[in-house]
Structure 1
């Protein structure tokens, strides 16, 4: 169970630690004349409660501001700086409030050199425990996400290969190839080359997290060539994407799955030709839109295509896959991904 991203167990550990550390502090700091051990402990308990909870708030704040692993050095430096300032300012203020040793100048260098370092060292030790636990949690989450992505990629690869290696697909491809050999050997050669490109691309990119949009489009163009041999007059695909946009990246086989869905779920005939548009929307989204003419029966559907794409994009952060259905059109928009120098991923 988590509260604001912090496990409930941490709350128990923190408050138990506060009482234990307060007890330790009564031996590290001298006792004032006339002050009983109970008074000393209660005073130490107040100091420890304020400092520990204040330090905890500082840790949590900068974790939200700098959440990425690559930001760890910057986060630690700023956190430690703010923590030291908090202790330097907070200690004399609390001493003044509780009138501890009125003869001491709380703003003097002697006081800071004698009293504050103890608090700083204690905070540093506790902070290192927090950071080690946080780093371990990030590492564990990263390992888990990597495993989930690998499993998702395996499912994607299986689904695509299953669709393309199915007897129905092979029968249609070989039947088309046989017809082309008899009618036009040059076209038959082109068909064979495109078929080879389709399988080569799948094998080369099956384990990648991202591919360039340029490479994905070349693959999809080869895939569309095969489809148009089956539907020479009834299927048209218009790709309108500028060269500068093709440098961005997407998850491999995303376009193929969207085009395949359009083919699978819509009627394609002379009376009802299917038209697919692939273009960039708002400079940051890849859109695939087709005229809507749904089949009454498409056989057994796994219904995992869009879920598959959503799951893979969730790995890269807050990248939303939108599906827009109107009376005439069906459109899916997929965010483009930009790979920056530090190999982290941001939305285009």
Structure 2
């Protein structure tokens, strides 16, 4: 047990002792004060340690954050059984052992039934409050942890995405300079044209590199310009064909993905007039395909694999759909997902999350009101009981406010923790997840 918990039990014992000694004790002597202190301490520590042990045991075995429903059921069952045993033990020690106002037979008869039943209900209310407090603390801790984790994930995703995008400049420049250097030796005139075209293409690279997604139309137009640049070097050794319908032009792909894949085709395959390299760019359902006939050239230096790996990693940060690579004996094909909507890699809170946060705030306010009412009930009802006990002998009118107020509290608890708002939220979340999964299947 924590030191703070022990201090709370000590102050509870002292406060209960003073309350009963000053207001419900006719004989104000040191002996009666000590007996009252002994009884208050016994009730406080037995009930406090008993419920604390139950709560800590359940926290270890069934944390609220991992098994909420199971924990709720076990908490209800355990506090009912546990407090029943603890209250009977305390009352037995009080009336039979310490004060000796009853025999064991009398204590277990109907004579003390009302007293035992009332004490059990008070203990259950206090225990329920303690378990609810534990639930709120665990909820705050879990929520705080999830917020920190989500922020770290968002920052990591952004950093990773920026790192991947920053690979494009040196990668494109390195490959373009390699082409240019070989072209200078083969055909200096074409090298000049290549340099002019390269400046236009590089402008597009600089414009698009900071974007997460671009339209298929923009990427196709850029790919056609880049293919013209490649044709200036390879002439009739390379053939390009584009077969992408207009209805696919407004979908989205990762920027510079076609350019990187075209580079790979040229880099890993030989192309001659007698054996030209044929590269097809076409759409197949919701994928953009780049296919070439396989004419693998011998590599003196092993490829770094930056281009294709870059595309795969950037897609993994934007969608659950995968980049597919198909290789046969005579063909090599890469399938890029075309997305219907433009995803965002940012730390901004989506509208759905903002709405969910507002619902969570409303729910927390309702829970706070409920716990305030529960605490008030735990204070007022025992007070009414003692007023009834000492003012109206034989007539127990305090049951009426206790029952009505208790039913109201039970209804509010059922609404908050049962099938009220929480059921609606779960259903809304379930429908939203279904729609999200359905949309993920489309994009």
How high is the TM-score relative to the length of structure 1? 0.69
Between Structure 1 and Structure 2, the one with more strand by share is 1
Residue 22 of structure 1 and its aligned partner are, at CA, apart by: 10
Note the aligned Cα RMSD (angstroms).
3.8
Q: Is 1:210 matched with 2:213?
A: yes
Picking from 196, 201, 208, the partner of 1:198 is 201
Counterpart-to-counterpart distance in 1, 2:322 and 2:217: 22
Is residue 123 from structure 1 mapped to residue 132 from structure 2 by the alignment? no
**CA distance 1:36–1:136, shift in 2 (3 Å):** closer
Q: Partner residue of 2:316?
A: 314
Distance across 2 between alignment mates of 1:154 and 1:340: 20
Report matched runs for 1:309-348 at 5 Å: 309-337=311-339, 338-339=341-342, 342=350, 346=440, 348=443
Q: Is the 8 A contact 1:278 1:289 kept in 2?
A: yes
| Compared CA separation, residues 298 and 239, structure 1 to 2 (3 A) | farther
Query: Which secondary structure state, in structure 2, belongs to the residue aligned with residue 221 of structure 1?
Result: helix
Evaluate the alpha carbon distance shift between residue 161 and residue 35 of structure 1 in structure 2; reply closer, same or farther with a 3 A threshold. Answer: same
1:288 matched to 2:290? The reply is: yes
The size of the alignment, in residue pairs, is 291
Q: Report the equivalent of 2:77.
A: 93
Does the C-alpha gap of structure 1 residues 117 and 56 become closer, same or farther in structure 2, counting only changes over 3 Å?
same
CA distance in 2, matches of 1:47, 1:240: 67
Structure with the higher helix share, 1 or 2: 2
SS of the equivalent of 1:247 reads coil
Query: CA contact under 8 A between 1:239 and 1:278: conserved in structure 2?
Result: yes
Q: Is the 8 A contact 1:265 1:298 kept in 2?
A: no
- 1:159 maps onto 2:189 in alignment: no
CA shift digits 1:195-250 (9 cap, x unpaired): 45412211101222222222111111110111123333232222222223222222
Give yes or no for the alignment of 1:263 onto 2:271.
no
1:143 and 1:271 map into 2 onto residues whose CA distance is 52
Are the counterparts in 1 of residues 237 and 277 from structure 2 also a CA contact under 8 Å?
A: yes
Write the distance in 2 (CA, Å) between the matches of 1:112 and 1:169: 86
Report if aligned partners of 1:195, 1:226 keep a CA contact under 8 Å in 2.
yes
* CA distance 1:119–1:39, change in 2 (3 Å): closer
Counterpart position of 2:64: 55
**In structure 1, what is the Cα distance between the partners aligned to 2:3 and 2:308?**
53
| 1:26 to partner: Cα distance | 7.7
Within a 5 Å distance, the mapping from 1:108-257 to structure 2 comes to: 115-166=127-178, 167-168=180-181, 171=184, 175-176=189-190, 195-257=198-260
CA distance in 2, matches of 1:324, 1:26: 68
Is contact 1:286-1:333 (8 Å) kept?
yes
Deviation at 1:275, TM superposition (A): 0.9
Q: What per-residue deviation string (whole Å, max 9, x for no partner) do you get for residues 263-291 of structure 1?
A: 1111211110111111223x232221100
Instruction: Give secondary structure in 1 for the equivalent of 2:144.
Output: helix
Partner of 1:185: none
CA separation of 1:92 and 1:138: change in aligned 2, threshold 3 A = closer
Q: Is the 8 A contact 1:267 1:294 kept in 2?
A: yes
Question: Which shifted more, 36-45 or 327-336?
Answer: 36-45
Q: Residue 311 of structure 1: CA displacement?
A: 2.4
8 Å CA contact retained: 1:339, 1:346: no
Residues 65 and 138 in structure 2, CA contact (< 8 A), matched pair in contact too: no
Quick one: distance in 2 between partners of 1:122 and 1:296?
A: 67
For 1:117 and 1:22, the matched residues in 2 are separated by 17
Deviations 1:19-62 (A, max 9, x none): 54995698379999966846742442223432573412157xxx
Higher gyration radius (CA): 2
Q: Tell whether the 8 Å contact from 1:274 to 1:290 is kept in structure 2 after alignment.
A: yes
